[in-house]
Amino acid sequence: MKRKILFLALIITITTGAAIADGMVFDPTDYEFSSSTPTKEVTKPDLGSNAKIESNIKEASSYSQNSVSGQSANFNNALFELDSAQVNIRNELLDYQAKYQEVDTQYKLIKEQRRVLGEQVKSVEKRIKDIEKSKNQIRKTMI
């Protein structure tokens, strides 16, 4: 009995999940509904309006050409500005890399000097301890 209920619940879940998912996730968001838009009946213009239509077409084409050339000039200017900014940033990067390299070599030099001085300090401290030991041995032998 429990198996049948579980099996039926599983089937209902699968089918409702498929029904809910239908049309939600799988359709593209920018789907054009060209088939559902009402179509307008095309009317023939009278002969006097042909001149108006031709002048409108010429104006629209000249406007679009001017706007495209203006946009391409704007894009070219923007690209040039981006290129110059990129060159400036690269030059700044080279400056920082040179400074980093200089500081890094100084750091390595100081680190090596510190190591050498540390060894010298240890050797001097060892010599002082040895002298203290010998002084203590001499005192013991004198008593």
| 13 pLDDT above the threshold of 90 | no
pLDDT, tens digit, for every residue of 49-65? 565 666 666 665 555 55
Question: Burial letters for 33-62: b for 16+ Cβ neighbours within 10 Å, e otherwise?
Answer: eeeeeeeeeeeeeeeeeeeeeeeeeeeeee
DSSP 99: H
Other C-beta atoms lying within 10 Å of the C-beta of residue 109: 10
pTM for this entry: 0.40
1-5, 42-46, 68-72, 116-120: lowest mean pLDDT where?
42-46
| Number of residues assigned to the chain | 143
Type and span of the H or E element at 45? none
